[in-house]
């Protein structure tokens, strides 16, 4: 196949990928995006496979079959597990980049050191460092999200952590520079694995100090790295399709990471090196504050009288598997002519946009899922704010308390609503270990219990008072 056809096909694939992302701008056209993406991928694979230098077809067919065998079950995980699947796929992306970089280095070395130009060496070093650190870092992130036993959930910190991490990276880069200068020296083939080892280790150490609340940002950053390692592969292989597709992925990860950081009022550096979740335990003020509890019957009555109900879901809702009960409640209230909206904080859930997917799965129309910035001006008109499994995203301390670790984080203004019902499993503080002022406000009434059973009881009350409590 002539080079012109190959390049044309690669341009076509690039265009299809851009359309794939463009169509994601509204749910109405988003599925076309998937078809465009698949088409672009098929074109790219077919054209590459048809190149004359590809001769060992069995070596291609079997990995592809294996990819289907693993990929199809991975696409069927429950939606609560999508963050770990995503992290796992970043790990695979990083691994692929690292392996191809490694293969290319040894190949060029064996074919003759004149192949190892400074430019190619720089690209290879960048590719393997990014690729392998993304591999182990994403595996760690996936392990934390999946709550694998031997991966510590809580942030792990030790003295001089950041210094040690940066030193490791600096050593890897220094060794890389040595290789760029002397790519074919006697010691070079042995130095190369050392860089790989350092990158693998750095990936692990980078993620160890990061806690659960920061995972959405970390996943987005790793997404960006996975894209950039594909870009570096493009530089190594002189392939512009890899560069364009990798750049699209890299910029997507970057934008999502920025959105996540803004939503938490933190900087990249702070997320990566800040070891959140350490300091802020036990800051509860001197006086013992009392929760006011409400009964299911009372709450149901208030809900019936409302004209605007805003549900504020957090990841706790998904943990309690309460989405479907929430949808039943939504239906019942809607039937009574009550407007029900869902206020979605950007960091609700464990990856960007996660809460929307969880609610869409429960069959709640996406037109009733409202972004934080859009719902906040309406909160003073809201009769009932129902907080289900959310905590930090409704904590007014973010606005008022300069000593709070979440100070400055934009929040959903649940405290502006006329009445707040907060469902809470126990009287302990939430995920980040921060006490929540909202729960002690005079407008707030607590509904203690598991989110699924509390909402279930509310549904029972509202659907005809067959209550037997």
Partner 1 sequence: MTPEAAPPALDFWSMLFVFVLSSFIGLGVIRRVSRLLHTPLMSITNAISAIAVVGSIIVAGGEYPLKIRILGAIALFASMTNIVSGFLITDRMLKMFKTERKPAAGEQS
**Under rule CB under 8 A, which residues in 69-98 are in contact with partner 1?**
70-72, 74-77, 79, 82, 85-86, 89-90, 92-93, 95-97
User: What does the buried/exposed string (b/e) look like for 127-140 if buried means 16 or more CB atoms within 10 Å of the residue's CB?
Assistant: bbbbbbbbbbbbbb
- Window 380-419: residues binding partner 1 (CB under 8 A): none
Expressed in angstroms, the distance from the first to the final Cα of the chain is 76
Q: In which residue are the tokens 């464990």 written?
A: 350
Per CB under 8 A, the list member of 351, 382, 385, 390 interacting with partner 1 is 351
Using the rule CB under 8 A, is 124 a contact of partner 1? no
Per CB under 8 A, the list member of 12, 24, 156, 168 interacting with partner 1 is 24
Q: What are the CA-CA distances from residue 401 to residues 62, 394, 395, 434, 443 (Å)?
A: 59, 13, 10, 12, 20
User: Applying CB under 8 A, what is the total number of residues that bind partner 1?
Assistant: 121
Order across the sheet with 339-344: list the strands: 369-371, 339-344, 308-313, 384-388, 419-424, 444-448
Alpha carbon 350 to chain centroid distance? 6
How far, in Å, CA of 343 to CA of 337, rounded? 19
Using the rule CB under 8 A, is 227 a contact of partner 1? yes
Per CB under 8 A, the list member of 316, 352, 429, 433 interacting with partner 1 is 352
Using the rule CB under 8 A, is 106 a contact of partner 1? yes
Per CB under 8 A, the list member of 196, 369, 412, 438 interacting with partner 1 is 369
Q: Which is nearer to partner 1, 103 or 167 (CB)?
A: 103
Report residue 54 as tokens: 């590809």
How far, in Å, CA of 310 to CA of 87, rounded? 32
Using the rule CB under 8 A, is 136 a contact of partner 1? no
Alpha helices in 265-352 (DSSP H): 268-273, 296-305, 315-319, 323-335
**Active site residues per annotation:** 392
Per CB under 8 A, the list member of 346, 405, 429, 430 interacting with partner 1 is 346
Using the rule CB under 8 A, is 234 a contact of partner 1? yes
Give the relative orientation of helices 118-146 and 82-111 as an angle to the nearest 10 degrees: 150
Print the binding letters for residues 240-279 with partner 1: x by CB under 8 A, - otherwise.
xxxxxxxxxxxxxxxxx--x--------------------
Using the rule CB under 8 A, is 68 a contact of partner 1? yes
Using the rule CB under 8 A, is 363 a contact of partner 1? yes
How far, in Å, CA of 330 to CA of 437, rounded? 27
- In the complex, least distance from residue 280 CB atom to partner 1, rounded to whole angstroms: 27
Print the binding letters for residues 145-184 with partner 1: x by CB under 8 A, - otherwise.
----------------------------------------
């Amino acid at each position: 196949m002539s080079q012109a056809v190959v390049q044309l096909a690669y341009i076509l694939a690039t265009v299809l990928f851009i359309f794939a992302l463009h169509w994601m701008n509204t749910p109405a056209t988003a599925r076309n995006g998937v078809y465009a993406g698949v088409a672009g991928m098929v074109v790219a694979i077919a054209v590459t496979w048809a190149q004359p230098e590809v001769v060992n077809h069995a070596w291609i067919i079997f990995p592809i079959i294996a990819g289907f065998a693993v990929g199809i079950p991975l696409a069927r995980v429950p939606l609560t597990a999508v963050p770990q699947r995503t992290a796992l796929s970043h790990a695979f992306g990083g691994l692929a980049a690292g392996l191809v970089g490694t293969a290319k280095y040894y190949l060029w070395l064996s074919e003759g050191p004149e192949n190892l130009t400074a430019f190619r060496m720089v690209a290879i070093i960048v590719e393997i460092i990014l690729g392998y650190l993304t591999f182990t870092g994403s595996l760690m992130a996936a392990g934390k999200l999946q709550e694998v036993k031997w991966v510590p959930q809580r942030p792990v910190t030790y003295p001089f952590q950041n210094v040690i991490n940066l030193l490791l990276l600096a050593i890897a880069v220094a060794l890389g520079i040595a290789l760029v200068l002397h790519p074919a020296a006697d010691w070079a083939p042995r130095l190369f694995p050392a860089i790989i080892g350092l990158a693998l280790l750095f990936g692990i150490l980078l993620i160890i100090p990061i806690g659960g609340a920061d995972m959405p940002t970390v996943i987005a950053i790793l997404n960006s790295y996975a894209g950039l390692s594909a870009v570096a592969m493009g530089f190594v292989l002189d392939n512009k399709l890899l560069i364009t597709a990798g750049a699209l992925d890299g910029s997507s990860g970057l934008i999502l990471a920025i959105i996540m950081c803004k939503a938490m009022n933190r900087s990249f550096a702070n997320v990566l090196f800040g070891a959140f979740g350490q300091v802020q335990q036990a800051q509860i003020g001197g006086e013992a504050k009392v929760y006011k509890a409400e009964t299911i019957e009372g709450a149901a009555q208030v809900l019936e009288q409302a004209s605007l109900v805003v549900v504020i879901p957090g990841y706790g809702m998904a943990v309690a598997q309460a989405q479907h009960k929430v949808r039943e409640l939504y239906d019942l209230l809607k039937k009574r002519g009550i407007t029900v909206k869902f206020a979605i904080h950007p960091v609700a859930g464990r990856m960007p946009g996660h809460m929307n997917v969880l609610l869409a799965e429960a069959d709640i129309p996406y037109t009733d899922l409202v972004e934080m910035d859009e719902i906040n001006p309406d909160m003073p008109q809201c009769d009932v704010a129902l907080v289900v499994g959310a905590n930090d995203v409704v904590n007014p301390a973010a606005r008022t308390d300069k000593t709070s670790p979440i100070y400055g984080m934009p929040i959903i203004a649940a405290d502006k609503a006329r009445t707040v019902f907060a469902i809470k499993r126990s009287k302990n503080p939430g995920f980040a270990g921060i006490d929540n002022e909202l729960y002690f406000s005079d407008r707030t009434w607590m509904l203690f219990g598991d989110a699924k059973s509390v909402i279930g009881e509310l549904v029972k009350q509202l659907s005809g008072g067959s209550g037997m409590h």
